[in-house]
Amino acid sequence: VWVREPSIDEILPGQLEVRVHCVGLNFRDVLKARGMYPHMRRFAQFDKDQPYEDRDTVLGFDFMGSVVRVNNPDSCLKPG
């Protein structure tokens, strides 16, 4: 379920806020939902038992959107 969250008042230095317009779910997301990503992970092994670099369990990582706020004056990204 996708739920709209209210915007927070402040973003931390170096962060940005993006208004997501659409997300892509692919086969990698199917594997994540079944606990089988990355391919060397044993079935149903918990994320906490994985090396830090293999803890990619969030679904819908690919997205398209518009930058709303940037809290980094040196960033090439600008709102809009």
Tens-place pLDDT, residues 5-27:
787 888 888 889 998 888 888 88
Number of domains in the chain: 1
* 3-state class (DSSP) for residue 61: coil
Domain-embedded: residue 77: no
Q: How confident is the model at residue 78 (pLDDT cuts 50, 70, 90)?
A: very high
CA distances (Å), origin 25, targets 4, 11, 42: 18, 27, 22
Q: What are phi and psi of 23, to 5 degrees?
A: -125, 155
Q: Is the pLDDT of residue 29 over 80?
A: yes
pTM of the model: 0.58
- Let me know: does 51 contact 4? Beta carbons within 8 Å: no
**Mean pLDDT value of segment 58-72:** 86
Nearest to 71 by CA among 28, 29, 11, 9: 11
Domain-embedded: residue 61: yes
Domain-embedded: residue 65: yes
Domain-embedded: residue 8: no
Domain residues for the domain of 41 are 15-71
Beta carbons within 8 Å of 72's beta carbon, 6+ residues apart? 13, 14, 15, 16
Domain-embedded: residue 64: yes
